[in-house]
Structure 1
C-alpha cells in the first residue's frame, strides 16, 4: 500500500474511534511513558501539542512539565521545518499555523531539538522492524529527527493497530526507536517491550 492510501485509511479509522476510547488510550500511553526511567530522567523533552484524533499529548506535556522537565513544543515555520519554543504551562500557548497551539516563548531555532534528552513525535503508523514512521506528509518531523543524536530516545505515539509489519519508506524518512501504544512501549527494530 502506498503512503497516500495508508494515510487515508488510518485517518479514517482514527476518526471512527469514539472520543472516550481515544481519551482512555491517551491516558494509558501517558502513564506507560511516565513509568519509563529514561522518560523520568529526561531534563529537556521535545514533544508536540496533539490535534484531532491523534493520541492526546496535552496531559503528557503538562505532567512532564509538572515533574520538572523543560518541554519544548514545535513552531511550524513557513518552509515546514520546525522551530522550537518552551512550554511554560497551559496559559503560554496560542494558535499558530493551521490553528495548532504553539508556545509564545522565544523561538530557540531548528537546532534546539539537538539538545533534547527525549523526543516524542506524532505518527500515523510505525514499522515494527525498521522504526520508520508514517507522518502527515509534510516532512517536518523527518527533518527534526535528522538533527537528533543516535542515542536519544525517539518515540512515536500510536493508537492500537498502528504498529505495522511494513510502512512505505523513502530515503528522507527517519526512524524512531520506540512506539508508545495504549498497551505499553515497544522498542522498534526488535519487536520486544522496552526495558
Structure 2
C-alpha cells in the first residue's frame, strides 16, 4: 500500500453532499495527505470501508452496505482506492456493477480490463506509475471508451515519489469533489 494510505485515525462524518469512501485495509488510513485533503474538502463527508486483500471480491457489496446504512446515493459517492483494492473498485465501476459519481484510483495494476464495453457514467481519475513510454493496456482502453477519464502517468524521471503521487491524487480529488458537488443530475440520482 502506498504511503499516502497509511494506518490509524477515525472515520469522517457523513451527510448530504459529496461522500468520499476510502477503500483500504481494515483500519482507517491516516496520512498527512488524507488529513490535508479532509481539511481541503470541508463540504465532503469521509468514510472508511475496510477491505482486506483476500476480500477483493466483496468490494461492491461493502460499498453498497455502507451506502445503504448511511443513506448515500450513487450520485454523491466518490470512491478512492489504491493498488489492488483500487483496481477492484475500478473494474466494478467500469462494468456498471457499482454505481458512483466518480472514482479516484492510484497505483492500480494497468493490465487491460477483462471486458471491452464500459458501462459507466462515473468520472474516472487515475494516477499510475509507468515503467516505459508505451501506454499500458488499461490506459489505452479507457482513452478509447466513451467515459469521462483523466489519467496522470508518473514515469521513472523522479516523479514516482510518494509526494508526486500525493500531489497528483490531491488535484484529482479536489476536482472530483467540486464536479460531483455541482452536478445536480448526479446528486439527485437514485
- Answer yes or no: same fold by TM over 0.5: no
Coarse TM-score class (shorter-chain normalised): 0.3 to 0.5
Higher helix share: 2
Higher strand share: 1
| TM-score, L = length of structure 2 | 0.38
